[in-house]
Amino acid sequence: MRHINWEQLAEKKVTPPHKPKVKNAGDLSNFDPEFTSGDTRLTPSNARLVQSINQNVFTGFTFVNPTWEV
């Protein structure tokens, strides 16, 4: 079993054993079509539930729930 240096991994200083080739940011060729051919939809959200969650824990995320008002 190989030793994993978790600190270096968290700092992205570890070279991955396999780096897939991708054509662009939207390239899905490395995923089975079973997982990429379905329709996408946002799960309906319960406004009360969303309001009860501390949204500050998501600071820095690139997507935030559009039903939550800042």
Torsion sign (Cα): 30, 33, 34, 35: positive
Identify residue 50 by its one-letter amino acid code: V
Residue with the bigger pLDDT between 43 and 5: it is: 5
For the ranges 2-11, 39-48, 50-59, the lowest mean pLDDT is seen at 39-48
* Total domains present in the chain: 1
Query: Does 10 map to a domain?
Result: yes
Query: Does 11 map to a domain?
Result: yes
For 9-15, what is the mean pLDDT?
92
Query: Does 20 map to a domain?
Result: yes
pLDDT in tens, 49-61: 877 888 788 888 8
Degrees, nearest 5: CA angle 63-64-69: 150
For 60-68, what is the mean pLDDT?
73
Query: Does 24 map to a domain?
Result: yes
Query: Does 5 map to a domain?
Result: yes
Residue 24's domain spans which residues? 1-37
pLDDT at 20: 93
